[in-house]
């Protein structure tokens, strides 16, 4: 499994559309939440196939960084040991 952080909105949105992500995982939602939240976007691949996207909104409050990922939908994967 490959986890890629991206700042490229076109690449992220294309992956979001491919995976049929929730509207709150679209990059536009992350941009709406600025400046209070900083979006961190991931594209997740398994065997070179995009299987999910994840947008985590990060905020600093009272000296603590918190992350929030609204309506994130990650597939359950079975890994053998």
Per DSSP, the residues of the chain read -EEEEE--HHHHHHHHHHTT--GGGSHHHHHHTTTTSEEEEEEEEETTEEEEEEEEEEEEETTEEEEE-TT----------
Domain assignment present for 65: no
What percent of the chain lies above the pLDDT cut of 70?
A: 91
How many structural domains are present in the chain? 1
pLDDT for the residue numbered 1: 82
Domain assignment present for 34: yes
The band of 74, judged by pLDDT with boundaries at 50, 70 and 90, is confident
Domain assignment present for 75: no
Q: Is the pLDDT of residue 78 over 90?
A: no
The band of 72, judged by pLDDT with boundaries at 50, 70 and 90, is confident
Domain assignment present for 76: no
Domain assignment present for 70: no
Domain assignment present for 80: no
Range of the domain at 34: 2-59
Domain assignment present for 79: no
Q: Is the pLDDT of residue 34 over 90?
A: yes
Domain assignment present for 35: yes
Q: What are phi and psi of 34, to 5 degrees?
A: -70, 155
């Amino acid at each position: 499994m490959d986890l890629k952080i991206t700042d490229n909105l076109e690449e992220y949105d294309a992956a979001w559309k491919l995976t049929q992500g929730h509207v709150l995982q679209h990059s536009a939602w992350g941009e709406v939440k600025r400046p209070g939240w900083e979006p961190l976007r991931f594209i997740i691949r398994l065997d070179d196939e995009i299987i999910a996207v994840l947008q985590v909104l990060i905020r600093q409050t009272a000296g603590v960084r918190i992350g929030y990922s609204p309506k994130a939908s990650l597939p359950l994967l079975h890994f053998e040991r």
